[in-house]
């Protein structure tokens, strides 16, 4: 018996039908969602994604902006830009084969006098960072090198020449320590948060004025827009870009003529100088010797060149002795001791001390320079002839008064022992020694004895552990001249556009004030005037015939090297001081022998006095 096959089909139960319906509904929903998503992407958002795709094919290549120029107070150019030629390697034409690229680097290395491996590293590193931008191999090549590369371009595929802006210093060694230099921003600087608008590879000021006013001097980079494929390879011609904007011009208070005079006055010797307006702290000259040619920093400097600039055998040309040098000041400190003694009630200006040439303090005998005996002297005469005995006794008396820090407090009030705050990086604080300072050294086993009265006796005449810079001494004497304003020296005057039109004044900070009785100040200034003009004055022979009346103090400091440090600090004109000039020369001997003549030369430039001491006809003094 045979069964009908139709009778063998299973029947569709209601439960099975429900499951089939649910699965079908879910599948239909999925297909609807996919369809809607495709419709959204292709129809509603098509234009947006098309624009983004186009943007992905366009890259921006930085076009370096020239930095702003730096000029002196009279508009003379101190730092400017010059166009240079850089050798670059373009990724568009660079050989694909590593072997061919290395052959290219060997040929290029012979022309540029560079090691091929160094070229390879520089190119690869830059192309990894920005694969579509040309990699710079060497800046500022000579014209004959450029001509050779152009004539043999087939041998140097991918090698191109590009214009770059390099810093140039027309004044040469004058002011070299002030300007600083530029280099690519470091990752640490970017991480610091101080360079929010700077990208890796941008040039920023790394030292000196270039660093202090970088935000003004740095321009706005431009951009060249190029088309690339999905692999970042260049395609087609460059698109429209954005032109770079040059940085702002910076005008300094510096007077280039005075700066050059100061540099010449050092005559290659190791030392430093400053000339400053005692009314507002504007620095007209600030320099150090030996100096160097700052143009060496226009392009990357070699290790051997940099080491030579730091070598003690060469006089450490990079060391800025005007703001970083710490020296015992010798007798130039006596004016500060005088202020402290008068204000502290230790003496009056007319108290007489008999200077017999030496004085015994404890078991130690302190002598005048050259064992000279000056006889009866009051304050004015003691400053004029530079009586050490007079000030030794003040140091002894001050050490036994109160906490023994009378002289130290006034030294700090007048600006010693701390940075002056000049708008330059790297300034050193110096040292004003006191009992706590030395005893702390003893506790750390950095000295073999505690503080003694002899330390204060030495301090009173600018000897011992005292360390100060020419700029600090200039600030202290300026406070004497202007009635007690402790100035914050400054170099920056204003920000200008490229045509010299003022855009922003760089106002100096408000000076601290210390109260000095007018009669005390006048007595000290009279003593300084006598020292530079009256018979027997320590610098009278130096300023003989000088048409501007000067008040000044010599200083001869003994150093640990056994070579005398020569100092001179001058205020001029005496009746109403406008300028302070401070000069120190290492190994210069007596103050009147080296530093005072250098100060006279700087003062001559400030007042437009010729070398014979005459004021040229028609010269106006302000």
The yes-or-no verdict on residue 177 having pLDDT over 90 is yes
Hey, what CATH topology would domain 256-303+318-606 get? Beta-lactamase (3.40.710)
Least confident stretch, 215-224, 226-235, 352-361: 226-235
Question: CA 345, CA 43: separation in Å to the nearest integer?
Answer: 93
| Helix (H/G/I), strand (E/B), else coil: 399 | helix
CA distances from 530 to 101, 123, 325, 478, 549 (A): 77, 68, 29, 18, 10
Is residue 56 within 8 A of residue 100, CB to CB? The reply is no
Is residue 489 within 8 A of residue 427, CB to CB? The reply is no
Is residue 439 within 8 A of residue 405, CB to CB? The reply is no
pLDDT reported for residue 396: 96
pLDDT reported for residue 382: 97
Residue 72 CB partners (closer than 8 Å, separation 6+): 78, 251, 252, 254, 255, 256, 259
What is the maximum alpha-carbon separation in the chain?
159
Structure confidence at residue 141 as a pLDDT band (50, 70, 90): confident
**Parallel, antiparallel or unpaired: strands 77-89 and 135-138:** antiparallel
pLDDT reported for residue 448: 92
Structure confidence at residue 502 as a pLDDT band (50, 70, 90): very high
Please spell the DSSP secondary structure of 244-308, one letter per residue.
-BPPPEEEES--HHHHHHHHHHHTT-SEEEEEEETTT-BEEEEEEES---GGGGSSPPPHHHHHH
Q: Tell me which residue of 556, 563, 604 sits closest to 584, measured CA to CA.
A: 556
The yes-or-no verdict on residue 27 having pLDDT over 80 is no
The yes-or-no verdict on residue 479 having pLDDT over 60 is yes
Read off the pLDDT of residues 553-598 as tens digits, 9 standing for 90 and up.
Answer: 999 998 877 788 999 999 999 989 999 999 999 999 999 999 999 9
Q: To the nearest whole number, what is the mean pLDDT of the chain? A: 87
The yes-or-no verdict on residue 157 having pLDDT over 60 is yes
Q: Tell me which residue of 212, 172, 473, 461 sits closest to 322, measured CA to CA.
A: 473
Backbone angles phi, psi at 25, to 5 degrees: -65, -40
pLDDT reported for residue 568: 98
Structure confidence at residue 87 as a pLDDT band (50, 70, 90): confident
pLDDT reported for residue 620: 36
Question: CA 554, CA 595: separation in Å to the nearest integer?
Answer: 8
Q: SS3 string of 592-615?
A: CCCHHHHHHHHHHHHCCCCCCCCC
Least confident stretch, 17-21, 479-483, 545-549: 17-21
What value does the mean pLDDT take over residues 27-40? Answer: 73
Read off the pLDDT of residues 207-225 as tens digits, 9 standing for 90 and up.
Answer: 999 999 999 999 887 766 6
pLDDT reported for residue 2: 47
The yes-or-no verdict on residue 48 having pLDDT over 70 is no
Cα end-to-end span (Å), the chain: 140
Query: How many CA atoms are closer than 13 Å to the CA of 507, on its beta-carbon side?
Result: 3
pTM for the model stands at: 0.83
Least confident stretch, 68-77, 83-92, 121-130, 530-539: 121-130
What value does the mean pLDDT take over residues 498-509? Answer: 88
Structure confidence at residue 40 as a pLDDT band (50, 70, 90): low
pLDDT reported for residue 534: 97
Question: Among positive and negative, which fits the CA dihedral 131, 133, 139, 141?
Answer: positive
pLDDT reported for residue 505: 93
pLDDT reported for residue 480: 97
pLDDT reported for residue 335: 98
For residues 53 and 177, the model is more confident at: 177
What value does the mean pLDDT take over residues 338-362? Answer: 96
CA distances from 255 to 274, 362, 493, 504 (A): 12, 50, 12, 20
CATH 3.40.710.10 domain range(s) in the chain: 256-303+318-606
Q: What percent of the chain shows pLDDT beyond 90?
A: 59
The yes-or-no verdict on residue 128 having pLDDT over 80 is no
pLDDT reported for residue 4: 52
Radius of gyration, alpha carbons of the chain: 36
Tokens in use for 456? 């204060």
The yes-or-no verdict on residue 95 having pLDDT over 70 is yes
| Helix (H/G/I), strand (E/B), else coil: 139 | coil
The yes-or-no verdict on residue 328 having pLDDT over 60 is yes
The yes-or-no verdict on residue 1 having pLDDT over 50 is no
pLDDT reported for residue 276: 98
Question: CA 27, CA 4: separation in Å to the nearest integer?
Answer: 36
The yes-or-no verdict on residue 41 having pLDDT over 70 is no
The yes-or-no verdict on residue 621 having pLDDT over 50 is no
Is residue 293 within 8 A of residue 173, CB to CB? The reply is yes
If you average pLDDT over each of 2-6, 91-95, 230-234, 484-488, which comes out highest? 484-488
What value does the mean pLDDT take over residues 520-529? Answer: 98
Least confident stretch, 328-332, 507-511, 612-616: 612-616
Buried b (16+ CB within 10 A) or exposed e, 418-428: ebbbbbbeebb
Structure confidence at residue 616 as a pLDDT band (50, 70, 90): low
The yes-or-no verdict on residue 131 having pLDDT over 80 is no
- 211 CB neighbour count, 10 Å cutoff: 18
What CATH code is assigned to 60-182+198-252? 3.90.1310.10
**Parallel, antiparallel or unpaired: strands 249-252 and 70-71:** parallel
- The total number of residues shown for the chain amounts to 622
Read off the pLDDT of residues 252-266 as tens digits, 9 standing for 90 and up.
Answer: 999 999 999 999 999
The yes-or-no verdict on residue 352 having pLDDT over 50 is yes
What value does the mean pLDDT take over residues 472-497? Answer: 96
Tokens in use for 443? 């506790």
Question: CA 27, CA 29: separation in Å to the nearest integer?
Answer: 5
Residue 105 CB partners (closer than 8 Å, separation 6+): 116, 117, 119, 120, 123
Structure confidence at residue 465 as a pLDDT band (50, 70, 90): very high
Residue 573 CB partners (closer than 8 Å, separation 6+): 548, 549, 550
CATH 3.90.1310.10 domain range(s) in the chain: 60-182+198-252
Question: CA 518, CA 424: separation in Å to the nearest integer?
Answer: 33
């Amino acid at each position: 018996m045979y069964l009908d096959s139709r009778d063998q089909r299973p029947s569709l139960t209601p439960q099975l039908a429900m499951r089939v319906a649910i699965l079908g509904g879910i599948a239909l929903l999925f297909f609807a969602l996919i369809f809607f998503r495709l419709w959204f992407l292709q129809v509603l958002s098509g234009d947006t994604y098309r624009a983004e795709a186009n943007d992905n094919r366009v890259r921006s290549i930085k076009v370096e902006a020239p930095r702003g120029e730096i000029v002196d107070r009279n508009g003379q150019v101190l730092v400017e830009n010059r166009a240079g030629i850089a050798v670059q390697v373009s990724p568009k034409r660079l050989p694909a084969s590593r072997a061919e690229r290395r052959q290219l680097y060997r040929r290029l290395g012979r022309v540029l006098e560079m090691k091929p491996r160094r070229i390879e590293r520089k190119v690869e590193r830059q192309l990894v960072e920005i694969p579509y931008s040309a990699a710079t191999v060497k800046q500022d090549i000579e014209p004959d090198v450029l001509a050779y590369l152009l004539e043999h371009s087939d041998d140097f595929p991918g090698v191109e020449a590009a214009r770059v802006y390099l810093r140039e210093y027309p004044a040469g060694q004058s002011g070299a320590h002030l300007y600083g230099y530029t280099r690519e921003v470091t990752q640490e600087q970017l991480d610091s948060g101080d360079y929010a608008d700077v990208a890796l590879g941008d040039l920023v000021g790394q030292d000196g004025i270039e660093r202090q006013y970088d935000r003004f001097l740095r321009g706005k980079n431009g951009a060249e827009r190029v088309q690339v494929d999905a692999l970042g390879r260049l395609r087609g011609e460059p698109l429209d870009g954005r032109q770079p904007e040059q940085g702002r011009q910076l005008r300094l208070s510096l007077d280039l003529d005075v700066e050059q005079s100061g540099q010449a006055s050092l005559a290659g010797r190791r030392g430093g100088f400053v000339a400053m307006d005692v009314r507002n702290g504007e620095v007209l000259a600030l320099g150090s010797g030996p100096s160097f040619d700052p143009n060496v920093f226009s392009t990357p400097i070699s290790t051997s060149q940099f080491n030579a600039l730091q070598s003690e055998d060469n006089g450490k040309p990079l060391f800025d002795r005007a703001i970083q040098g710490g020296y015992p000041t010798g007798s130039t400190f006596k004016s500060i001791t005088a202020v402290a003694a008068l204000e502290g009630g230790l003496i009056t200006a007319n108290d007489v001390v008999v200077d017999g040439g030496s004085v015994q303090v404890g078991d130690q005998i302190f002598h005048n320079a050259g064992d000279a005996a000056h006889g009866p002297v009051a304050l004015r005469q003691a400053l004029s002839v530079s009586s050490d005995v007079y000030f030794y006794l003040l140091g002894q008396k001050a050490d036994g008064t109160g906490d023994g820090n009378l002289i130290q407090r006034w030294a700090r009030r007048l600006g010693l022992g701390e940075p002056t705050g000049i708008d330059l990086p790297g300034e050193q604080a110096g040292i004003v020694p006191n009992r706590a300072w030395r005893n702390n050294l003893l506790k750390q086993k950095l000295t073999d004895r505690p503080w003694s009265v002899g330390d204060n006796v030495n301090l009173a005449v600018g000897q011992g552990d005292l360390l100060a810079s020419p700029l600090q001494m200039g600030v202290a004497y300026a406070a004497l001249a202007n009635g007690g304003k402790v100035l914050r020296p400054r170099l920056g005057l204003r920000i200008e556009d490229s045509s010299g039109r003022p855009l922003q004044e760089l106002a100096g900070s408000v000076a601290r004030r210390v109260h000095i009785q007018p009669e005390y100040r006048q007595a000290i200034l009279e003593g300084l005037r006598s020292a530079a003009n009256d018979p027997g004055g320590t610098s009278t022979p130096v300023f003989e015939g000088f048409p501007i009346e000067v008040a000044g103090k010599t200083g001869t400091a003994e150093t640990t090297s056994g070579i005398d440090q020569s100092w001179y600090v001058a205020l001029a004109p005496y009746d109403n001081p406008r300028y302070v000039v401070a000069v120190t020369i290492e190994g210069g001997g007596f103050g009147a022998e080296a530093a005072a003549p250098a100060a006279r030369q700087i003062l001559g430039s400030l007042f437009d006095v010729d070398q014979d001491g005459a004021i040229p006809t028609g010269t106006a003094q302000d």
